[in-house]
Structure 1
Amino acid sequence: MVEIPKAMVVEQIRSRSGAEKASEADKELPDKLDADNDAGLLQKYGISPDELRQQFGGGSPSVG
């Protein structure tokens, strides 16, 4: 299981689709996303679960 903080995903959405989509995603997405369980939500915003897994090396990113 790869858990990704919502803020990281929202920033990706903002850079790809703009502030309006990012704001919509921020309201809809859970605080922590699971690349597998939340695949449908991620794809709705143009984010590939596989891409997230690769980006975070299969582990949860640390937020400092």
Structure 2
Amino acid sequence: MQIDKSQIIDMLKSRGDTDQASKADSELPDTVDTDKDSGLLDKFGINPQDLLGKIPGLG
């Protein structure tokens, strides 16, 4: 699944992880592939399956 980096950053900010959001902004590609970039997502405490219910338009 392809997700825009800004959606992930917004999700991190909404849960109060502003430090993680800042790091994600500098480390994630503009378009995140949940399969290819699963290691990066895990680094920020994001389970790709969790994104389905938390980002509008997914799932």
TM-score (norm 1): 0.74
Question: Which residue of 2 is the match for residue 5 of structure 1?
Answer: 4
Higher relative contact order by CA 8 Å / sep ≥ 6: 1 or 2? 1
Q: Please, which runs of 5 or more residues in structure 2 have no aligned partner?
A: none
- Count the aligned residue pairs: 55
Structure-2 separation of matches of 1:30 and 1:15: 20
Q: What's the % identity of the aligned pairs? A: 44
Q: Which has the larger radius of gyration?
A: 1
Q: Please, which runs of 5 or more residues in structure 1 have no aligned partner?
A: 58-64
- Contact preservation (8 Å) 1:5, 1:32: yes
- Letter of the 2:45 counterpart: G
Cα root mean square deviation, aligned: 1.3
Once superposed, which parts of structure 1, at least 4 consecutive aligned residues long, lie more than 3 Å away? Answer: none
Question: Which residue of 1 is the match for residue 31 of structure 2?
Answer: 32
TM-score (norm 2): 0.79
